[in-house]
């Protein structure tokens, strides 16, 4: 009994995870995790693990989605959730310039879910698999005492000479991003506003009219498979790449840290949709802040050599938003007034208090 009491009343110093943050925790854990097998080329620290089993490289990535943390079933339909859970994982594979081939799905369910509810979830999973030509190759199911938990693993492949890591950017490389930014965050703001109104006044039906684009970006995003194909057609191999799940600011800082560079982003070059700008004004938010820190855009952020600039100049779905600098110059946003504002990682943090 004395031993048990001592074990549960540990008096050693305690470090709060909120102080480290998600990425600080990952960095800390990776500091003492070592790979032993020669097939393991890259482990913790990129969008996906990379393994060499022969002519092609194998890439694998895992993401976990928890009810009440990553999604709210009061406004997230199960079919859309199943679809999104696949997209979240495929996006990591595309961020390695690879093609996804299989997914594994593990789910934990509480007893409030019926067979019909599970079928609806898997309809969304299958829909995404069919659209992206990915096989649902297996997984696991178990019970849960705290709602729905989804854990998916995506597996893909890429030729050795085509693999792209977070590291690799050099000084003067151009920073590019696909699509537009901030819409998913504004979609979430609309959904949470309407939920709050409904809870306070149950007789009032949610008003979602005019928000189709930003709601789809939040509830049913897409992975940017076509951007990988376009870059290949243009004969452009990015020097570094990452997907935007936690916000542009956080992701560019990952690329800079991995490549030992600084950066300058131009506010006037950030691609933001008109509907995002309009809804940001409604919520008294700065659309630039939403683009930098909103997250869940699942666009691709990548760097290219300046020699490749002419190749993408006329590509409407790719924006050049800045360039890499020497690490001593830091990481900044050049605002519309010409002032340099230091970038901060203010996007999604899994362990942040509040």
CATH number at residue 99: 3.30.1330.10
Which residue segment(s) compose the domain that 63 sits in?
36-162
pLDDT digit string (tens) for 308-328?
A: 999 999 999 999 999 999 999
11 in a structural domain = no
pLDDT digit string (tens) for 20-30?
A: 455 555 565 55
234 in a structural domain = yes
| Whether residue 216 is found in the same domain as residue 318 | yes
What torsion, rounded to 10 degrees, do the Cα atoms 272, 278, 280, 286 define? 60
Query: Rounded to two decimals, what is the model's pTM?
Result: 0.86
What percentage of the chain exceeds 70 in pLDDT?
A: 84
Residue 247, pLDDT above cutoff 60: yes
| Whether residue 132 is found in the same domain as residue 213 | no
| Whether residue 136 is found in the same domain as residue 241 | no
pLDDT digit string (tens) for 29-88?
A: 555 555 555 555 565 555 578 878 777 899 999 988 998 888 999 899 999 999 999 999
Confidence of residue 348 (pLDDT cuts 50, 70, 90): very low
- Cα 295 vs. chain centroid, distance in angstroms? 7
pLDDT digit string (tens) for 213-244?
A: 999 999 999 999 999 999 999 999 999 999 99
Residue 146, pLDDT above cutoff 50: yes
pLDDT of residue 211: 95
31 in a structural domain = no
Total domain count for the chain? Answer: 2
Average of pLDDT values for 173-196?
96
- Cα 12 vs. chain centroid, distance in angstroms? 35
| Whether residue 134 is found in the same domain as residue 178 | no
pLDDT of residue 38: 53
Closest CA to 265 of 247, 278, 252: 252
C-alpha 270/C-alpha 283 separation (Å) is 20
| Whether residue 203 is found in the same domain as residue 276 | yes
The token pair that represents 258 in the structure block: 């991995």
| Whether residue 150 is found in the same domain as residue 199 | no
pLDDT of residue 81: 96
Helical H segments across 95-134, by residue range: 115-131
Residue 11, pLDDT above cutoff 70: no
| Chain position carrying tokens 């048990």 | 4
pLDDT of residue 349: 45
pLDDT of residue 28: 52
Boundary (domain end) residue, out of 162, 188, 214: 162
| Whether residue 142 is found in the same domain as residue 199 | no
pLDDT digit string (tens) for 178-188?
A: 999 999 999 99
Boundary (domain end) residue, out of 162, 195, 228: 162
| Whether residue 182 is found in the same domain as residue 105 | no
Please work out, in degrees rounded to the nearest 5, the angle formed at the alpha carbon of residue 224 by the alpha carbons of 282 and 209: 30
């Amino acid at each position: 009994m004395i031993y048990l009491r001592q074990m549960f009343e540990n008096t050693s110093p305690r470090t709060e995870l909120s102080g480290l943050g998600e990425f600080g925790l990952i960095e800390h854990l990776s500091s003492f995790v070592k790979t032993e097998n020669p097939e393991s080329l890259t482990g913790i620290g990129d969008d996906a693990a990379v393994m060499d089993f022969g002519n092609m490289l194998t890439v694998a990535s895992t993401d976990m989605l928890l009810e009440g943390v990553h999604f709210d079933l009061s406004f997230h339909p199960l079919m859309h959730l199943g679809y999104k859970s696949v997209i979240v994982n495929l996006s990591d594979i595309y961020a390695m310039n690879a093609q996804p081939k299989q997914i594994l799905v593990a789910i934990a369910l509480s007893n409030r879910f019926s067979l019909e509810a599970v079928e609806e979830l898997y309809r969304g999973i299958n829909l995404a698999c069919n659209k992206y030509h990915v096989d649902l190759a297996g997984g696991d199911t178990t019970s849960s005492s705290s709602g729905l938990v989804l854990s998916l693993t995506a597996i893909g492949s890429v030729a050795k000479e085509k693999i792209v890591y977070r590291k690799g950017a050099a000084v003067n490389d151009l920073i590019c991003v696909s699509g537009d930014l901030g819409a998913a965050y504004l979609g979430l703001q609309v959904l949470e506003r309407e939920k709050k109104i409904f809870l306070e006044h149950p007789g009032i039906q949610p008003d979602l009219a005019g928000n189709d684009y930003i709601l789809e970006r939040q509830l049913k995003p897409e992975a940017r498979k076509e951007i990988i194909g376009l870059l290949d057609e243009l004969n452009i191999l990015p020097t570094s790449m990452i997907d935007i799940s936690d916000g542009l600011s956080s992701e560019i800082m990952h690329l800079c840290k991995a490549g030992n560079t600084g950066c300058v982003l131009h506010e006037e070059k950030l691609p933001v949709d008109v509907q995002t700008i309009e809804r940001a004004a409604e919520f008294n938010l700065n659309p630039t802040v939403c683009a930098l820190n909103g997250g869940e855009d699942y666009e691709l952020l990548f760097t290219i050599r300046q020699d490749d600039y002419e190749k993408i100049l006329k590509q409407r779905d790719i924006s050049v938003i800045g360039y890499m600098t020497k690490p001593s110059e830091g990481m900044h946003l050049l605002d519309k007034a010409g002032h340099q504002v230091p970038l901060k990682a203010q996007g999604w943090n899994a362990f942040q208090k509040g």
